[in-house]
Amino acid sequence: MSRILPLMVLLAGTSLAAVNVKSGQAIYTANCAGCHGAKAQGNVGPNLHEAAGWSAAIFRRAMLKSVDDHGVALKAPMPNWGKIGFAGDKGKAPTTTEISNLQAYLKTLK
């Protein structure tokens, strides 16, 4: 039993990570790809590969308050997701989990 429990915990963590990335991909596709491109390479909006490496706190601030890693306001037409919410959740700010999932997905695109 003592060997099985750590293995179960390890496997559970692995499956959760996969679910988080898939959730982040869905969030990205619905809310970001139109401006930032299918692979976050940039289009109307900038390339997001650098933002994927920001700390969780900086990335969250960018999403909720529309400022970059230097505290500079993001340029229009970047939405303030903290005020308008993601597609399907209009008016409801994204959760910490949703933002973490989105950043986890972006990290897979590097």
Cβ–Cβ < 8 Å for 98, 30 = no
pLDDT at 37: 97
Cβ–Cβ < 8 Å for 101, 23 = yes
What are 24-64's pLDDT values in tens digits? Answer: 999 999 999 999 999 999 999 999 999 999 999 999 999 99
| pTM for this entry | 0.79
Confidence of residue 4 (pLDDT cuts 50, 70, 90): low
Q: Give the long-range contacts of residues 93-97, CB within 8 A, separation 24 or more.
A: 93/64, 94/27, 94/63, 94/64, 96/60, 97/20
Write out the CATH class of domain 4-108.
mainly alpha
Q: Sketch the domain layout of the chain as residue ranges.
A: 4-108
The sign of the torsion formed by the CA atoms of 49, 54, 60, 66 equals negative
- Mean pLDDT rounded to a whole number for the chain: 85
pLDDT at 18: 42
